[in-house]
Chains A and B, each alone.
Chain A
Amino acid sequence: MSLVIRKSTVEILCAAKWIFRRDCRLLSTLPEKTEIVVDEKERIPGRKTRSYNPILENRHVYPEFLPDPNPNWRNSLREKMERADMLKRRSQIDIPEFYVGSILAVTISDPHAQGKTNRFVGICIERKGCGLRAEFTLRNVVDHQGIEVRYELYDPTIQSIQVLRLEKRLDDKLLYLRDALPEYCTFPLDMDPEILPEGTPVPINPVQVKLKPRPWLERWERQELKGVSNIEEHLKEKDRVRRELRKTPWEKYDLMKNYRKTIPAEEQSEIWNEVYNQLQQMRVSRKKMSRKRTVTTPKTQLA
């Protein structure tokens, strides 16, 4: 509890409930169990595949290295050159591992800002695009005003990307935060980075947000969102009927539709074989650097 008190003194604007849950996770063993279960679920299909290749797990960490699956836009030479450029850019700045739901701080150079830099903190609500055009969107509420900034991942004006809290959420896209209560996406701009211990899997934050009453930007009720708790409260009978009508339960069986959305494993392993070594080297060298840094900076959080 001391942690909560300490955080509240620093005036974190996060939802009190969320912090409470998070605390529970730290103090009790119950949520950890859920994490373990999730882990097993992830592992089982991997183990069953005949040709399980650990290198393919990179696809979650660096999804932008995979090309667009639409064959009309494929061009192997361009893809290869883009990958080389991406690696060059990654050797210049540290682009850390992050997911939708992680909280990032991005510093870009801005000629009109004081000190010529602009730092923005927010939760990543979407990752899009592939290759050099990969982008991510950060959302935050500043002065009761929701703000979203879309950054290109390989934008040369980006000076640094810092992961303040590395975690995943229940959904692939958190666009519903736009219609959620503002406390769910309010983060202090001077938030401290939370460092995960070595070797732990990326935690999944099981928080369920509350939506504001309608009107909404999208029909969230049709999207089968897991991270929303009170969607049924705002629905009328008409909406429920239409949701039923609009359901597409056959889509998960549409093997070719799924196939056309993905890059097959054989092509992926080619790509990862091409870039994995360099990425691994960069990661190792960065880890050494960060270890030095953690030694030098006193950890106020753990004190």
Chain B
Amino acid sequence: MNQADVSKLVSKLRIKVPPKHRKLSSPQGPEGRLNKLRKTVTGLIKYERIELNYRRADEARQYAERLISEAISHGDCHKPTMEIADYWLLEKQLVHKLFKVLVPRYENCNTAFTKMYKAPQAYYGRHIDKAVLELRGNPYPTLTNKQSNNRLLLQNVLLDAAKYDYRQAKYAEMAEKLGKTEEVKSGQSNEDRNKPSN
């Protein structure tokens, strides 16, 4: 059992973090791995949507999330954060983009800053999982065509009509009940009226 490192305070990532890192095969060891990921993270910040191998995408996603959350929590006047941004973004104009564009975009975001989809594989050739990695709020059209909320879809039209029917039936039932009670009441009042006449 190890003690948690208390020297730094990090904000929680909104994505699932695997317990161990992936070793991206590289002759330079861990440094080479980070160099690969730097390229990917730079590309992600630059193009906002990239397609690549799943393993590398998943790793790079975690680093991109961390980078953005650091930038949000510390701002651009914090020297260590600036150093980190300088290390991770190979093109230096992207540092500006990170602090001036992405931080305002994600400041009030309650979800993860990135999205990852599984991409289709090539029909032939080696079997390698592909993924599409994108920043949330990017200017491109959405990748998913999820319109299950579309009210005009056949199933939704049917369900809406069924709901409407059900409500109408309930209202009719309630109205009937009310009518009955009123009848009873009126009957009683009639009796009351009859009594004094008798």
Contacts and interface: CB of A to CB of B under 8 A. Distances in A.
* A and B touching (Cβ–Cβ under 8 A): yes
A72 B18 CA distance: 10
Contacts of A268: 9
Given A68-B1, A266-B11, A255 B70 contact: yes
Contacts of B80: 45
A114 to B, nearest CB: 35
Contacts of A48: 74-75, 77-78
Contacts, number: 114
A227 to B, nearest CB: 16
Contacts of B62: 255-256, 259
A2 interface: no
A148 to B, nearest CB: 18
Contacts of B63: 255-256
A140 B131 CA distance: 57
Interface residues of B, number: 36
Contacts of B78: 45, 48
B31 A129 contact: no
A128 B88 CA distance: 32
**Main SS class of interface, A:** helix
Given A253-B88, A256-B17, A265 B2 contact: no
Interface string A214-241: 0000000000000000000000000000
30 contacts: A48-B74, A49-B9, A59-B4, A64-B3, A68-B4, A70-B2, A127-B3, A129-B2, A131-B1, A253-B83, A253-B84, A254-B34, A255-B63, A255-B67, A256-B21, A256-B59, A256-B63, A257-B21, A258-B8, A259-B62, A260-B19, A261-B4, A262-B6, A262-B10, A264-B11, A265-B9, A265-B12, A266-B11, A267-B12, A268-B9
